[in-house]
């Protein structure tokens, strides 16, 4: 009879043989797993309804990622729309997305069926910056009671502090004066207007949010502006992780973690401002948005379910600063570019401004109806600038029928706003800069149904009244005081579009000649 010690060498040999066998079978196991993944993907593809929007055939694991230029996704998706129609699908990884295009399709989705397209998809990438229940801000918050509460609060509070009112007009007019002084200081020499315009527009939301404007060289202000720009650029470089709802890529080391650092940096600055407000706040006098929010926090103290908490305040402040600066500033930059590229339009706007305002009267919203051509130019700048090519994504709350298609519950939807502003069935010259789109035969301003630069539906831009006021006052004031031109011996600026969640023009140089 063998002793236990005698059995051990035999056991070791058997285990080594099994291990060698398993190791030799690893390629077979991998092939099996690959075939299984392909089979599951095929079954999933076959199970989709025949009325699901068409799209390119996806590759295993990658989906259609290779078809999308992440530097300019709006171009790639426009090309897919031209091939597959006004509703098409594409896949990233294992996740299906649907893109809706054209005025008719988007009007149905965000108009008649807005409730079905009201929710936002969850992204683990946002977990990196502390997104959780009742702490999601407003831009990318899910369609919840907390989001409804905060949207209502933001709109009413911003109105109370002047949005759409005479008091804010005066603040914008004052800031336009500061911007003109900066332009005048360039003494007619070539300069890039980007940062000056960003600072001027950024100051308006700072007045409402923080209670005061900043000097353009203020260190804190410049950090806020630069961090906001960097966050948007970094988010753009991480679009796949941003919109894949269960992406494991968000949890591994990589460049997307830069978002966390940038967000922590801007959060630290905002928290300092909030803490200073706590020390200096007078409950009898609300200075700004932060004071109003802190007052609401006191009312719900001890209620963990409330969306009025300090983390949410900081996220909402970032949302307001980002949304309130990038969009309007980019539109004004596009406007300056269009003026130097279309001097005949600038000349005609100058004539109307001189006739209605002269060189001394400050432009106000009451002047807008008397200036149909200038108003038409601003609207056409918005249409051509098309700065928000895609609205932030939605996720369907239930199976929904749009057009001839059925889109399943929990499908992520992109609304291609560019396709509305450039819809060939709605605009006479959709691919040209043509202010007459907004003028009738008598030269009077006309509204256009397909003019949706602020999106539509439940998540339409809450700051639209302020943005329209800023665009009119800033643009008209600049044209009142300057003639803009291409610097002598400089090449003609191109109109290449740079995508960073919003679309801005390539950096360009102009001359601002005082009038």
- Which residue is listed with tokens 């409804």? 148
* Rounded-to-integer distance, Cα 228 and Cα 319, Å: 10
Query: Could you tell me the CATH superfamily of domain 48-514?
Result: Cytochrome P450 (1.10.630.10)
Sign of CA dihedral 176, 179, 180, 181: positive
For residues 82 and 107, the answer to whether their CB atoms sit within 8 Å is no
Helices (H), 211-308: 219-237, 239-243, 257-280, 289-299
Sign of CA dihedral 266, 207, 155, 291: positive
Residues 6+ apart with CB under 8 A from 433: 338, 341, 342, 345, 380, 384
CA distances from 191 to 147, 171, 185, 194, 332 (A): 42, 26, 11, 9, 15
For residue range 442-451, what is the model confidence (pLDDT) as tens digits? Answer: 999 999 999 9
**pLDDT recorded at residue 68:** 80
Element housing 124 (H / E): helix 124-127
Provide the token pair at 190.
């070539």
End-to-end CA distance of the chain: 112
**pLDDT recorded at residue 2:** 44
Phi/psi of residue 401, nearest 5 degrees: -100, 125
- Which residue is listed with tokens 């007459």? 436
For residue range 162-172, what is the model confidence (pLDDT) as tens digits? Answer: 766 678 899 99
For residue range 2-31, what is the model confidence (pLDDT) as tens digits? Answer: 444 444 455 555 455 555 554 455 565 555
For residue range 288-347, what is the model confidence (pLDDT) as tens digits? Answer: 999 999 999 999 988 888 889 898 899 899 889 988 898 899 999 999 999 999 999 999
344-382 in b/e form (b: 16+ CB < 10 A) is: ebbeebbebbeebbeeeebbbbebbeebbbbbbbbbbbb
* Rounded-to-integer distance, Cα 440 and Cα 372, Å: 10
Provide the token pair at 361.
């009267």
For residue range 168-215, what is the model confidence (pLDDT) as tens digits? Answer: 899 999 999 999 999 999 999 999 999 999 999 999 999 999 999 999
Could you give the angle at which helices 310-341 and 464-481 cross, rounded to 10 degrees? 40
Strands (E), 419-493: 482-485
* Rounded-to-integer distance, Cα 82 and Cα 168, Å: 43
Q: Structure pTM?
A: 0.86
For residues 100 and 414, the answer to whether their CB atoms sit within 8 Å is yes
For residues 413 and 393, the answer to whether their CB atoms sit within 8 Å is yes
* Rounded-to-integer distance, Cα 97 and Cα 90, Å: 5
Q: Is 281 exposed, middle or buried (0-12, 13-18, 19+ CB in 10 A)?
A: middle
The fraction of the chain above a pLDDT of 70, given in percent, is 82
For residues 250 and 256, the answer to whether their CB atoms sit within 8 Å is yes
Question: What is the four-CA torsion angle of 474, 479, 480, 482, rounded to 10 degrees?
Answer: 120
**Which pLDDT band, with edges at 50, 70 and 90, does 470 fall under?**
very high
């Amino acid at each position: 009879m063998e002793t236990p010690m005698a059995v051990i060498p035999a056991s070791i040999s058997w285990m080594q043989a099994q291990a060698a066998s398993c190791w030799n079978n690893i390629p077979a196991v991998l092939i099996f797993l690959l075939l299984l993944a392909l089979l599951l993907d095929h079954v999933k593809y076959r199970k989709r309804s025949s009325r699901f929007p068409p799209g390119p055939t996806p590759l295993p694991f990658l989906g259609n990622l290779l078809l999308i230029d992440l530097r300019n996704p709006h171009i790639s998706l426009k090309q897919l729309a031209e091939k597959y129609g006004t509703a098409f699908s594409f896949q990233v990884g294992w996740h299906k997305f649907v893109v809706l295009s054209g005025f008719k399709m988007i009007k149905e989705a965000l108009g008649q069926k807005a409730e079905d397209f009201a929710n936002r998809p969850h992204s683990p990438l946002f977990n990196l910056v502390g997104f959780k229940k009742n702490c999601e801000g407003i831009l990318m918050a899910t369609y919840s009671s907390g989001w409804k509460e905060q949207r209502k609060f933001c709109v009413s509070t911003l109105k109370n502090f002047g949005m759409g009112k005479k008091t804010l007009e005066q603040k914008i007019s004052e800031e336009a004066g500061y911007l003109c002084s900066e332009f005048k200081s360039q003494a007619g020499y070539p300069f890039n207007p980007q940062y000056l315009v960003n600072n001027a527009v950024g100051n308006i939301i700072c007045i409402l949010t923080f209670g005061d404007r900043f000097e353009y060289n203020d260190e804190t202000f410049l950090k806020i502006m630069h961090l906001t720009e960097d966050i948007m650029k970094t988010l753009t470089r991480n679009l796949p992780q941003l919109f894949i709802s269960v992406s494991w890529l968000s949890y591994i080391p990589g460049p997307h973690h830069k978002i966390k650092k940038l967000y922590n940096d801007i959060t630290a600055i905002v928290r300092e401002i909030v803490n200073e407000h706590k020390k200096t706040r007078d409950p009898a006098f609300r200075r700004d948005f932060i004071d109003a929010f802190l007052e609401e926090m006191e009312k719900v103290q001890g209620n963990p379910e409330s969306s009025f908490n300090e983390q949410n305040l900081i996220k909402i402040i970032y949302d307001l600063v980002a949304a309130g600066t990038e969009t309007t500033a980019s539109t004004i930059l596009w406007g300056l570019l269009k003026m130097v590229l279309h001097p005949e339009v600038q000349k005609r706007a100058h004539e109307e401004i001189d006739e209605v305002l002269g060189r001394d009267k400050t432009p106000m919203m009451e002047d807008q109806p008397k200036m149909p051509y200038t108003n038409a130019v601003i609207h056409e700048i918005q249409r051509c600038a098309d700065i928000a090519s895609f609205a932030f994504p939605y996720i369907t709350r239930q199976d929904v029928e749009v057009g001839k298609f059925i889109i399943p519950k929990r499908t992520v939807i992109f609304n291609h706003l560019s396709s509305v502003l450039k819809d060939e069935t709605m605009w006479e010259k959709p691919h040209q800069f043509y202010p007459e789109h907004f003028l009738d035969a008598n030269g009077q301003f006309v509204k256009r149904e397909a003019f949706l630069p602020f999106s539509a539906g439940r998540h339409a831009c809450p700051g639209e009244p302020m943005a329209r006021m800023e665009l009119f006052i800033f643009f008209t004031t600049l044209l009142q005081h300057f003639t803009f031109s291409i610097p002598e011996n400089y090449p003609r600026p191109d109109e290449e579009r740079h995508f960073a969640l919003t679309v801005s023009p390539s950096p360009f140089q102009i001359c601002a000649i005082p009038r």
